[in-house]
Amino acid sequence: MVHQLEVDSVQLQFGKREILSDVYLKCETGRITGLLGRNGTGKSSLMNIIFGSLVPENKSVRFDGQSVPKAYKHHELLSYLPQYNFIPAHLTLSRVFSDFNLEFGPFEKYFPEFSQKHVSKIIQLSGGQRRLVETYVLIKSKSEFVMLDEPFSHLSPLMIASVKELIKEEQPNKGFLITDHMYREVVDLANDLYVLAEEQVYLVNGIEDLERLGYARLNQIDKS
Looking at the Cβ atoms of 95 and 181, the one nearer to ligand ATP is 181
Taking the complex as a whole, the smallest distance from the CB of residue 3 to ligand ATP amounts, in Å, to 25
Taking the complex as a whole, the smallest distance from the CB of residue 26 to ligand ATP amounts, in Å, to 19
Looking at the Cβ atoms of 93 and 138, the one nearer to ligand ATP is 138
Taking the complex as a whole, the smallest distance from the CB of residue 215 to ligand ATP amounts, in Å, to 11
3-state secondary structure the chain: CCCEEEEEEEEEEECCEEEEEEEEEEEECCCEEEEEECCCCCHHHHHHHHHCCCCCCEEEEEECCEECCCHHHCCCCEEEECCCCCCCCCCEHHHHHHHCCCCHHHHHHHCHHHCCHHHCEHHHCCHHHHHHHHHHHHHCCCCCEEEEECCCCCCCHHHHHHHHHHHHHHHHHCEEEEECCCHHHHHHHCCEEEEEECCEEEECCCCHHHHHCCCCCCCHHHHC
Looking at the Cβ atoms of 93 and 160, the one nearer to ligand ATP is 160
Looking at the Cβ atoms of 144 and 180, the one nearer to ligand ATP is 180
Looking at the Cβ atoms of 43 and 164, the one nearer to ligand ATP is 43
Taking the complex as a whole, the smallest distance from the CB of residue 27 to ligand ATP amounts, in Å, to 17
Looking at the Cβ atoms of 96 and 201, the one nearer to ligand ATP is 201
CA–CA gap between residue 51 and residue 49 (Å, rounded): 5
Taking the complex as a whole, the smallest distance from the CB of residue 119 to ligand ATP amounts, in Å, to 34
Distance of CA 179 to the CA centre of its chain: 6
Taking the complex as a whole, the smallest distance from the CB of residue 19 to ligand ATP amounts, in Å, to 5
What residue ranges bind ligand ATP (CB under 6 A)? 14, 19, 37, 39-45
